[in-house]
Structure 1
Amino acid sequence: MAEITVDLIKELRERTGIGMGDCKKALVAAGGDIETAITNLRKAGMASAVKKEGRATNEGQIGFFEAKDCIALVEVNAETDFVVKNDRFQQFLTHVAEQAADTKPESLEAFLKQSYAKEKGMTVDEYRASIVQTIGENIQVKRLSIFPKKANHSYGIYTHLGGKICVVVDLEGASDEEKLAKDIAMHVAAASPLYVNAEQVPESVIEHEKEIVKSQIAGKPENVKDKIISGKIQAYCKENCLVEQPYIRDDKLTVAQFVAAKGKEEGKNLKVVSFIRWDVGQ
């Protein structure tokens, strides 16, 4: 068996585009023969799949899986919307979301190295590469996130435009208000807030907004400037903070007022504590 040196591994990587770890495994399996390693990689579909890795993946879909103790979000991208609608792509998206919820990986990198639950003997990333080989387009798992569930909280999940947008809303104060939480998630999809409330707006953002306003009102008296700046910051929060936005189904009420009113009807103290809004390619 030929000695498997770092230089040999690098050479195989340069010739195939495959990661260093996989190159080393291939060389070990081939007894150190680089040509045999390349042949084996091509047979496995990995080498040809990697050639497609550099192609832009501007289309995709966000999948989710809701378990008893968490919600998992996963974004998988492809080159064209045609492939996104492919049955095998859709199946892969569903399965990886379910596996993410089941295993709760610490990172995307760790998740891709996991054994793929639906295809023993392959990692998640190896199975992804096999789909690339079969379909002929670059496919990438772009990101994932796990949201642990809490007692006395309700969670609303809403997807829009065929999974191009996905929103999760966390409502505190009851465990049976999924419908209300989903209604607020629909609002988030439409109104695109950046923060839950004014307290969550970073000080750096507030200062940036103040500087913009100051540049627009130079020359005005100081007492007038303060009032204008205060008004502009309030307007910014009303536009970008979820609980201060006019509720899309009843713009006479803010989201906070709408949620509070619904809670009062049922004798509950309800409030939105967090949300996540993902757009494909974000």
Structure 2
Amino acid sequence: MSISASLVKQLRDQTGAGMMDCKAALTETNGDIEAAIDWLRKKGIAKADKKSGRTAAEGLVGVASDDKGAVVVEVNSETDFVARNDAFQDLVRNIANAALSTDGSVEAVAATAYPGGSKSIAETVTDAIATIGENMNLRRSARLDGTVATYVHNSVGDGLGKLGVLVAIETTGDKEAARAIGRQIAMHVAATNPLALDVSDLDQAAVDRERSIFSEQARASGKPDNIIEKMVEGRLRKFYEEVCLVKQAFVINPDLTVEKALAEAEKEIGAPAKIAGFIRFALGEGIEKEESDFAAEVAAAAKG
């Protein structure tokens, strides 16, 4: 099949591999992007796909919390200029506060009453589009119950920023001490973007995919099967340490894993504690950039 320049660019943006390597990978996999990524990784040309690196959207992430739990919402706008607008910031902050009375689902948040008004949040957002003069939407929301710590990165105001994290700590001990270590863990989550809380929470398909890639890489060494098996298991353990929150090296004290850092904090908490869950919203996550005409860019560069 014919491989388009735009498809080559998409793969290059996702993997950082060279143009010719990307074209070869797509040719070998009949234009299947995911299969091409695996092909490049098996050849040692590319690392795991970092989808968040190629996403873009404007707006704000807002967080709010009370004694019962915490919520995080994402409201998108067309431009960053609007995200700096006081009216838009008030809108996102009020939506987050109103979301505390819901189960955290987008549908429930959209249907709940906007603070200080008679209209729903969905209706208020529609009105704001006309007032502010730019398209916007409540894209997603989520909630964690119990003792929940919050963290906002790139903050532009109280509870507002480009990235929001919730971390729930399950304990019968001191709630404030639990929230203190929870906030540090939330900062860690903001920095490392773990795929799952622990190994049991990982998507089995993702684990199988990594195992397949590691196996093929190990076989290329020409070593015996029993050695290859040990190599694969070793690489999987390292993979778990990289992507599972409790197994990651704690960014605030890399000598400890997150799990061990929480265990040490139990002295202050006064009771056993564990992470019950976490949520991380990065602004624009999963929204693709509008791509320019890559073929035209190459032609223009060739012309000098």
Q: TM-score range by the shorter chain?
A: 0.7 to 0.9
User: What is the DSSP-based 3-state SS (H/G/I as helix, E as strand, rest coil) of the residue aligned with 2:239?
Assistant: helix
- CA deviation profile, 1:189-236 (whole Å, cap 9, x unmatched): 111111111122222222111100111122431101110110011000
In structure 1, how many angstroms separate the alpha carbons of the residues matched to 2:152 and 2:87?
20
Once the two structures are TM-superposed, the CA of residue 148 in structure 1 deviates from its matched residue by 2.1
The aligned residue for residue 99 of structure 1 is 98
- Amino acid of the structure 1 residue aligned with 2:283: V
What TM-score, normalized by structure 2, do the two folds share?
Answer: 0.68
User: What is the DSSP-based 3-state SS (H/G/I as helix, E as strand, rest coil) of the residue aligned with 1:116?
Assistant: coil
In structure 1, how many angstroms separate the alpha carbons of the residues matched to 2:280 and 2:135?
25
Spell out the pairing of 1:26-105 with structure 2 (5 A cutoff): 58-104=57-103
Once the two structures are TM-superposed, the CA of residue 102 in structure 1 deviates from its matched residue by 1.8
Once the two structures are TM-superposed, the CA of residue 241 in structure 1 deviates from its matched residue by 0.8
Q: Structure 1 stretches (4+) deviating beyond 3 angstroms?
A: 264-267
- Amino acid of the structure 1 residue aligned with 2:168: D
Once the two structures are TM-superposed, the CA of residue 62 in structure 1 deviates from its matched residue by 0.9
In structure 1, how many angstroms separate the alpha carbons of the residues matched to 2:138 and 2:199?
33
In structure 2, how many angstroms separate the alpha carbons of the residues matched to 1:262 and 1:238?
21
In structure 1, how many angstroms separate the alpha carbons of the residues matched to 2:276 and 2:107?
29
In structure 1, how many angstroms separate the alpha carbons of the residues matched to 2:180 and 2:165?
14
In structure 1, how many angstroms separate the alpha carbons of the residues matched to 2:111 and 2:68?
23
User: What is the DSSP-based 3-state SS (H/G/I as helix, E as strand, rest coil) of the residue aligned with 2:284?
Assistant: coil
1:160 aligns with 2:158: no
The aligned residue for residue 33 of structure 1 is none
What TM-score, normalized by structure 1, do the two folds share?
Answer: 0.73
User: What is the DSSP-based 3-state SS (H/G/I as helix, E as strand, rest coil) of the residue aligned with 2:100?
Assistant: helix
> Sequence identity of aligned pairs in percent?
33
| Count of aligned residue pairs for this structure pair | 220
Change (3 A) 1:135 1:215: same
Change (3 A) 1:134 1:200: same
1:144 aligns with 2:144: no
Q: Which runs of 5+ in 2 are unaligned?
A: 1-55, 156-160, 286-304
Once the two structures are TM-superposed, the CA of residue 265 in structure 1 deviates from its matched residue by 5.7
- Contact 2:75/2:139 (CA < 8 Å) preserved in 1? yes
Spell out the pairing of 1:1-282 with structure 2 (5 A cutoff): 58-104=57-103, 107-120=105-118, 122-149=119-146, 154-162=147-155, 163-173=161-171, 174=173, 175-176=175-176, 177-218=178-219, 219-264=222-267, 267-282=270-285
User: What is the DSSP-based 3-state SS (H/G/I as helix, E as strand, rest coil) of the residue aligned with 1:268?
Assistant: coil
- Amino acid of the structure 2 residue aligned with 1:99: A
Greater gyration radius: 1
The aligned residue for residue 34 of structure 1 is none
- Contact 2:94/2:114 (CA < 8 Å) preserved in 1? no
